[in-house]
Structure 1
C-alpha cells in the first residue's frame, strides 16, 4: 500500500481530488488530499509546505502528486520528508531562484498560448473562457460543482523566489495531458525536458484531469508508481 499525497492546483482545495481519491482508495491506498492555505494572504510557499508536511503526519511509502501551481510546493515537501516518488501533473516546473510570478515570462508561456489559440481558431473571448480552457471535458453538473468549490487564490506565494538550490533527491516523473488547453502540451514537453532533463509521460484529457478522467489518471499513476517504486525497492534492499 502506498500513501498518495495530492497537492492541488491554484485556487483549489481537497474537493478537487475527490474523484481521484475514491479511485486510489478503491485500489487499496491511503490518500492525503492536502488543504493548502491558498486564500490566506499571509501564506507563501513555506506555509504551503508546512501544511502538506502536517497533513502527512508521519505516513510512509509516499507518492507525492503535485498539479499545476502545486508543482512549486511538491518538491519542497519532498525536501522535508522522504518520498518514494514525485509526480508532477500538468506542472508549472520551478527553477531555482525563480518566483512563481516570474515563471510565466521566464518560460515563454504567453507565446505558447498564442500559438495554440491561433491553431485552435479561438477568439480572445474564448481564450479567457474557463468553459473553453478548463472545463471542456466536464458535464454541466460537475462544472457547477467545480465552480462552487473554487477558492480564492492569494498572490503571496507568487512573489518570492523558489527557495531550493537544486531538485530534491527523489525519483521524479512528469505526466502531461494531450488535451490541456491551459498549458499546451508542446510547451510543457519542452519545459519538462529543459528544466528536468525528462521525457514526460502523457495521457488524454484536459487540465482538470482529476475531475474529467479520474479512473484513467489513477491507472496512469499506478503504472508510474509500479515502474519506479516496485523496481527500485528491491535494489535498495540489496
Structure 2
C-alpha cells in the first residue's frame, strides 16, 4: 500500500488536503497529513520535519508531497524516511544552505510582474471552499524563514514537479525554469491555479497515483 505524505504550505494546515486525502483513501491508499508547527515561534525546518516523521511512524512505500512552502519541508522528511519519491505541487524548491527569505531573489520570483488586483491563491477555488480556507488560515511564524535550509546536499530521491497552468503565484514559465535549474527536471502541467488540492483534487489524485505507479 502506498502512503502519501501530504505537507501543507504557509498559513495552511492539514485541512487544505482534506479533499485529496479522502479521494486517495477511497482508492485504497494510506495518507499522512498533519498540521506543521508553523504557529510555534521556536520551530525551525527541523521541527517541521520532526512533526511529519513522527506522524509517519513505521509506514513504508512513501511518497512525500509538498505544496507551496511545504516544498521546504518535503525533502527533509523524504530523506529521513527513505521515501520513494518527492512531489512538488506548486511547490517552492529550495537550495542547500539557502533561506526561505533568500529564495525569492534566488529564484527570480522577486522580479515577477503582477497586478495588485489579481487574487493569487484562490481565484479558481469554489467560493464557499475558498472562504472556509481563509477562515481556517493559520499563523506562519518567521522563525524558519531566515534560517539556512538544513540539508547540505539534495537527497538522492527522484523528484516530480507538478504546476497549475493558471497559477498566479508561481507561474508556469517561471516554474519550468526553476525546476530545470534546481532539480534538472521538466515540470508536469495540469489545469488549475496555485491551490490545486482545493481547486482540482480529483485530477491531482490521478496525477499522484500515476507518479506512484511509475516509481514501483
Query: Quick check: 1:202 aligned with 2:189?
Result: yes
* Cross-structure match for 2:61: 61
Query: Quick check: 1:217 aligned with 2:214?
Result: no
Give the distance between the partners of 1:160 and 1:181, measured in 2 at CA. 27
State the 1:138 CA deviation.
Answer: 1.7
* Cross-structure match for 1:234: none
Q: Which runs of 4+ in 1 moved over 2 A?
A: none
Once the two structures are superposed, the pairs formed by residues 69-148 of structure 1 within 5 Å of their partners are 69-112=69-112, 114=113, 117=114, 122=115, 124=116, 126-127=117-118, 132-148=119-135
Once the two structures are superposed, the pairs formed by residues 3-82 of structure 1 within 5 Å of their partners are 3-82=3-82
Residue 150 (structure 1) aligned to one of 134, 137, 142: 137
| Structure-1-length-normalised TM-score | 0.88
- RMSD of equivalent CA atoms: 1.0
Higher helix share: 1
* Cross-structure match for 2:172: 185
Give the distance between the partners of 1:46 and 1:85, measured in 2 at CA. 20
SS in 2 for 1:182: coil
Give the distance between the partners of 2:13 and 2:25, measured in 1 at CA. 18
Aligned length: 216
Alignment gaps of 5+ in structure 2:
none
State the 1:34 CA deviation.
Answer: 2.2
Deviations 1:166-211 (A, max 9, x none): 1112111111111101111111110000010001111111111100
| Structure-2-length-normalised TM-score | 0.97
